[in-house]
Homo-oligomer: A and B are copies of this chain.
């Protein structure tokens, strides 16, 4: 059997709980979604604990699991994912941090953790503090969107087990402390970098302009979420897959790059509820031609969940369904399509929850069970049963005739 191509569509946070105002239906159950239902009708469905029963997935750990990795083994903090997301390379032994550009007063008390949600000039500021060398450690710094940035420390003898400089509230900045003796040097280098950077940032023309315009200056960086990349064998090596990802948000982009996907910029794919669904569909179709495995993340459902807006969430389901319809209409025949979520973000909770998510796989060798609709409850009666997130990709590989044999 010739191996099939594979398309995995992840509806970020779309999975939900019964909503009173929707007559105890979930937003997915309440929405009109002919394309999703067609997929369920012609494929095999199930319910999935993305990390495990009773564990609330982060978007980062969830995507690692959906790509077939054991997040408990490979995940050491959000820093590396954020760093790769903004475009910094990560090597083995590097320690990475998420950072905010922030504002401090003369006593080093944080007065604005986001420097007035600074939008312009962060590229220049980042450039001014990137590349310095401290105790034989090279410091790489790059801006993300708005006040967000990432920091990579590269050199011998580093260890990610250090505490945050970011106080996470408006108070004096913290000294990073080693959480294990091996991390002493890392904490010292990090503290020195923050001090040196603040001197450079305070005197930078971008900040002089901001002060003149009565805007809070971005005169400090606040690192948090230290992490290293453990052995993370990319999908290309693990399964021999040429793969690509479409995602709007840098966190998910970062994970895609970490696992070896190419991540083209798709104009209009914003990672917001205003994302260009047509552009995403076109990008997916285009990438399927040139790759074995294509991944598409649509963030909007998670946003509607965090906002607690069940009406918006129903609309998001219908928009994603429209996008899926466009894809299915023009998709080549030899593609296995999988549709699922990375976690639930119930509108009643406004945060991620541990509730399992629906999953449907259609095409290739997928069986056809009796499930007629794609939703949290219908999918659970499907022939896939209940599975774990890290078993999804192997399952898809099996249905796409790409699984490996064990034994003779």
Contact = CB atoms under 8 A, between A and B. Distances in A.
B386 A377 contact: no
Given A75-B407, A355-B367, A399-B355, A383 B394 contact: no
B54 A398 contact: yes
A406 B405 CA distance: 32
Contacts of A62: 407
A406 B365 contact: no
Interface in A363-408: 365-370, 376-377, 380-387, 391, 393-399, 401, 403-408
A17 B408 contact: no
Interface residues of A, number: 65
Contacts of A352: 405
A350 interface: yes
A406 B1 contact: no
Interface of A: 1, 17-18, 24, 26, 46-47, 51-62, 71-72, 75, 78, 225, 251, 346, 348-355, 365-370, 376-377, 380-387, 391, 393-399, 401, 403-408
25 contacts: A1-B351, A18-B368, A47-B383, A51-B406, A51-B407, A53-B387, A53-B395, A55-B404, A59-B408, A72-B406, A75-B406, A225-B408, A251-B408, A349-B401, A353-B365, A354-B399, A354-B403, A355-B399, A367-B377, A369-B380, A377-B383, A380-B382, A380-B383, A384-B386, A385-B386
Number of copies: 2
B385 A376 contact: no
B53 A406 contact: no
Contacts of A354: 394-395, 397-399, 403
A381 B350 CA distance: 29
B53 A349 contact: no
A407 B71 contact: yes
A334 B55 CA distance: 21
B385 A385 contact: yes
Contact of A57 (B61, B377, B406): B406
Nearest to A98: B408
Contacts of A251: 408
A406 B56 contact: yes
Contacts of A57: 405-407
A312 to B, nearest CB: 19
Contacts of A1: 346, 348-351
Contacts of A369: 377, 380-381
A349 B401 CA distance: 8
A408 B365 contact: no
A353 B401 contact: yes
Given A54-B394, A58-B405, A59-B407, 20 more contacts: A1-B351, A18-B367, A26-B367, A53-B394, A54-B391, A54-B393, A54-B397, A55-B405, A55-B406, A56-B404, A58-B407, A60-B407, A62-B407, A71-B406, A225-B408, A349-B401, A354-B398, A376-B383, A380-B382, A380-B383
A353 B58 contact: no
Contact of A346 (B55, B351, B365, B386): B365
Contacts of A408: 58-61, 78, 225, 251
